[in-house]
Structure 1
Amino acid sequence: MPAPAPSWQTGQSTWNGSGYESLPAAPPINELPDEWVENFGLSQAPLQQPIVDLPLTDPSGGKSSASSIAPIPERQLPIGAAISEGATLDEPPLEQEVVRWYQVPWRWMSKGWENHAEFGLDGSTGNAETLAIQTGLEMKRKTDRYTLALDIDYRQASAQNRTTEDNARLNLDYDRLLGDSNWTTFGKLGMEYDEFKAFDLRLNLNAGLGYYWIRNDNTNLVTRIGAGASREFDSPVDEWTPEAVFGLEADHKLSSRQKLKAKIDYFPTFEDFGDYRVVTDVSWESLIDNSKNLSLRLSVTDRYDSTPQGALANDFYYSALLLYKF
């Protein structure tokens, strides 16, 4: 049996002046002092080997270890590419919109609608003092299944400080398509007030069938036929009168800034088709300022009543109005 190697060859010996002495073995690095265990409750824990042993490869392509791991896939996009392409994280929950119960009606009236308020004014002073104003509101909601439209107009004019015109009109129209066809059912509500006519308020309610000859984002053409009744309150004949209704309505976008609209409704009574009313509206709109949603409208309106009861049978209006869309 070979002799043991001198202690100085192990690197654990020291010179004491006359010879080499062996040093005591160093404590293991994974052992803790006894006072740490007593004071802090620490337990001995031996060092662990690495969990993942990455294989080594040589230039020839061979692996120095039998174990292997899948290579890390290359990045498909350079750093910062997601930011440059506008990629964003999901919206934080704290930034999600919260809708209160009292906001629901206005959201329904403002989203999906084409709305505008209109105003017109003209007058003169000097030999003749005149003033005329016209205001109105139009709201329209069109979907794949139905169209709902509200139209309110008010006109007032005076000459020499005397009122010569004071009237208002409200129309509510509803169309709903029947399945996938161009046929539609409609309902119509109309109210008219005029200080210079023989009634205080005229009310008409009508319903029936219609047919869309054209219906798209640029052009609409529909004809209607139906029945209903009308009444002139506080007039010489203050009672409900059955009547029919025949209507034609069309609108067309000439360009992204111009639109034409036309509408005519004929209301004959069932007892005598010679007793009838006709309401005609034609208008042209042109966008003035897209950033401020301002448009100009030129319109003409004719209202004819075959039985005016002492007043003129025909009322013809023309106007230039400034529209603000919202």
Structure 2
Amino acid sequence: MSSIRFISCVLLVNVWLFSGVSGFAPVDVYAQQVPSWQAGNSTFNGTGYDLPSPPPAPAASSPSPAIGALELPADTPESISPGFSDLQPSWGGEFGLSPASLDTPIVAPEETVVETSSYSDVISTGQPVESAPLEEEVVRWYHRPWIWMTQGWDNHAEFGLDGSSGNADTLALQTGLEMKRKTDAYTLALDFDYRQASASSVTTEDNGRFNLDYDKLLNNSNWSLFGKFGMEFDKFKSFDLRLNLNSGVGYHWIRNDTTNLVTRFGAGASKEIGAPDDSWIPEAVFGIEADHQLNSRQKIKGKLDYFPAWDDFSDFRLVTDVAWETLLSDSDNFSLRLSVTDRYDSTPQGALKNDFYYSALLLYKF
């Protein structure tokens, strides 16, 4: 009987402990913390499943906050899982990742365009530069002559050809090069031309000339100082090569972009190499030069140089050039020139005094 009473007391104590009389939590607390479906209880209501109510939020003084219930974003199509929308209003089409919204759009700043040719030019303008270019343009010393000869110049090459066959076979060829640089301070001009003609395979003409003219303005006035250097060779003259050097002063009556007129006076000397008299002959020089732009396509120009010997003005040379040019294309590269040249020598030393040339030339500007 004592053992039966002991077992009965133990059972009474267990019933009392789990009946909620003491301060221990009843079994329902476990049901509130664990979803009913995990505890083996069905929550299907006919159309979906009832979610358990979330547990109360932990107190602020709690050292370890409780994990809240899972919240699902909105806007999920019903096709993901039938009846799933009953658990939450909807599920986002971005699978829970909503796109971030910007208060103001981000616009890249406009880049400042600096029309410069090199990195050093950009630095000189004061513009901010993030990084230096990969390679800066470098001009070597041997580039300078070519740059100087091609920038600021008015250059053209010329070529002319005519001939005949039959009773008389003739062929005439003329070619040349003209380069001119004109600035507010000076004018530099180079001129070279060559002529050759033949009749019945016999050369009847073979000559050429080169002229270099420099004209420097004095203190932006109409007065200038000039220098001239010339070479001429002619197979049918009494000399092999003629040289002349002259300098002096000039006066520019008109000097602008459309019309130029200048007169010159100076002194110098000439020498005919290979002639019976090959000594240097002192001589004066009188000259006049003019050119005029008739319109956007046509231009005329002329030049006359008179070289008398200082001791006898009846001993002289006279060179005259007159030309008319017209553009052949809108590109300004091709032009046609009709020119007339007369070279007179009062003392030809056994040759004819006068040489007269006329030609039609095609000019290519570069």
Please indicate the TM-score interval, normalised by the length of the shorter structure. Answer: 0.7 to 0.9
Q: How does 1:130-169 map to 2 (within 5 A)?
A: 130-169=170-209
Does 1:25 find its partner at 2:62? yes
**1:4-49 Cα shifts (integer Å, max 9, x gaps):** xxxxxxxxxxx94799996562669xxxxxxxxxxxxxxxxxxxxx
Task: Provide the C-alpha distance between the structure 1 equivalents of 2:31 and 2:301, rounded to a whole number of angstroms.
Answer: 122
What amino acid is aligned across from residue 113 of structure 2 in structure 1? T
Does 1:88 find its partner at 2:113? yes
- Of the three residues 258, 265, 269, the one matched with 1:218 is 258
Task: Provide the C-alpha distance between the structure 2 equivalents of 1:206 and 1:225, rounded to a whole number of angstroms.
Answer: 10
- Higher mean C-alpha displacement, 100-109 vs 186-195: 100-109
Partner residue of 2:274? 234
User: Aligned pair count?
Assistant: 259
SS of structure 2 residue aligned to 1:289: coil
SS of structure 2 residue aligned to 1:104: helix
Q: 1:26 to 1:167 in 2, by over 3 A?
A: farther
What amino acid is aligned across from residue 62 of structure 2 in structure 1? A
Task: Provide the C-alpha distance between the structure 1 equivalents of 2:57 and 2:227, rounded to a whole number of angstroms.
Answer: 115
Task: Provide the C-alpha distance between the structure 2 equivalents of 1:21 and 1:208, rounded to a whole number of angstroms.
Answer: 110
SS of structure 2 residue aligned to 1:127: coil
Partner residue of 1:172? 212
SS of structure 2 residue aligned to 1:108: helix
User: What is the CA distance between 1:200 and its match in structure 2?
Assistant: 0.3
Q: Which has the higher contact order (CA 8 A, sep 6+)?
A: 1
Percentage identity across paired residues of the two chains: 69
Task: Provide the C-alpha distance between the structure 1 equivalents of 2:360 and 2:57, rounded to a whole number of angstroms.
Answer: 117
What amino acid is aligned across from residue 153 of structure 1 in structure 2? D
SS of structure 1 residue aligned to 2:328: strand
Does 1:289 find its partner at 2:329? yes
Does 1:306 find its partner at 2:343? no
- Of the three residues 190, 194, 197, the one matched with 2:237 is 197
Would you tell me which structure has more strand in proportion to its own residues? 1
SS of structure 2 residue aligned to 1:166: strand
Q: Which has the larger radius of gyration?
A: 2
User: What is the CA distance between 1:98 and its match in structure 2?
Assistant: 3.0
Task: Provide the C-alpha distance between the structure 2 equivalents of 1:265 and 1:179, rounded to a whole number of angstroms.
Answer: 26
User: What is the CA distance between 1:96 and its match in structure 2?
Assistant: 4.9
Q: 1:196 to 1:181 in 2, by over 3 A?
A: same
The alignment yields a C-alpha RMSD, in angstroms, of: 2.6
- Of the three residues 312, 320, 323, the one matched with 1:280 is 320
Task: Provide the C-alpha distance between the structure 2 equivalents of 1:171 and 1:287, rounded to a whole number of angstroms.
Answer: 25
User: What is the CA distance between 1:100 and its match in structure 2?
Assistant: 3.0
SS of structure 2 residue aligned to 1:278: strand
Partner residue of 1:251? 291
TM-score normalized by structure 2?
Answer: 0.66
- Give structure 1 stretches of 5+ with no counterpart: 1-14, 29-78
Q: 1:272 to 1:254 in 2, by over 3 A?
A: same
Task: Provide the C-alpha distance between the structure 2 equivalents of 1:118 and 1:272, rounded to a whole number of angstroms.
Answer: 38
TM-score normalized by structure 1?
Answer: 0.74
Task: Provide the C-alpha distance between the structure 1 equivalents of 2:273 and 2:115, rounded to a whole number of angstroms.
Answer: 60
SS of structure 1 residue aligned to 2:149: helix
What amino acid is aligned across from residue 348 of structure 2 in structure 1? P
**1:55-105 Cα shifts (integer Å, max 9, x gaps):** xxxxxxxxxxxxxxxxxxxxxxxx99x89xxx7356673475332332221
